[in-house]
Amino acid sequence: MYGKKALLTVSQNSARPTGFMYAVERLQEEREGLMNEMKSIYIDALEVGRNADCDNVFQLLADLRMRTEAFVSNLHKYLEWEDEDLFPLVDDYFHKRPGPSITPSYWGLEKDREMGMLFIQSFLDLKVKEHNEETHTKIKHATSHMAQACLIMQEYFRLEAELLFPLADEILTDIDYFYS
């Protein structure tokens, strides 16, 4: 719906680059990188879960854990930037206009990401040491939680795009009209 091409076209054709324009471009780039990594983790989580009884499952699990921790670190940086820099810019613009608030939409996004993080933490909390049926079951359960976390975060990114990209288009268009 609102993809990278649509917003970049607005900013590339803008009469005057602005801080908000750069924020939108950063949003697009970082979102895309996080979504690609999340999709890869999702596929690997399913694969590790299917191979819970293989001899090399502990190495597969360690690799998945390491990638997940790196993803979480990058995700936290992205979410912190959104909360501290991007959302206040959007709020400032739309609070100056009459009409409904977008605060409930932010609340919904926050709840999705909290739920996603709970499922990620469930996966990261997995502690296994030896091959046995109980361990295999725990691995399947934990990797299922990781896959579910990825689906929740995919929904977060979809809702974020539905909320922010139309608003960003409107703001960028207004800025461009103001300076033209």
Measure Cα distances from 38 to 10, 45, 109, 115, 133 in Å.
Answer: 28, 10, 17, 15, 29
Do 102 and 91 contact (CB within 8 A), yes or no? yes
Do 149 and 51 contact (CB within 8 A), yes or no? no
Measure Cα distances from 46 to 1, 12, 40, 50, 143 in Å.
Answer: 28, 40, 10, 6, 7
Q: How many domains, the chain?
A: 1
Instruction: Give me the helices (H) in 51-132, please.
Output: 57-81, 87-95, 103-124
> Helix, strand, coil % (nearest 5) of the chain?
85, 0, 15
Give the tens place of pLDDT for each residue, 76-91: 999 998 888 877 777 7
Task: Give the structural domain span for 58.
Answer: 4-179
pLDDT of the residue at 87: 78
d(CA 156, CA 56): 33
pTM (2 decimals)?
Answer: 0.79
Give the tens place of pLDDT for each residue, 121-155: 999 999 988 888 899 999 999 999 999 999 999 99
pLDDT(10) > 60: no
Rounded-to-10 torsion of CA 122, 123, 129, 131: 110
**Single-letter amino acid, residue 152:** I
- Say which residues have a Cβ less than 8 Å from residue 67's Cβ, sequence separation at least 6: 37, 40, 41, 44
- End-to-end Cα spacing for the chain: 27
Residue 50 binned pLDDT confidence (cut-offs 50, 70, 90): very high
pLDDT(105) > 70: no
Candidates 84, 112, 101; CA nearest to 23 is 84
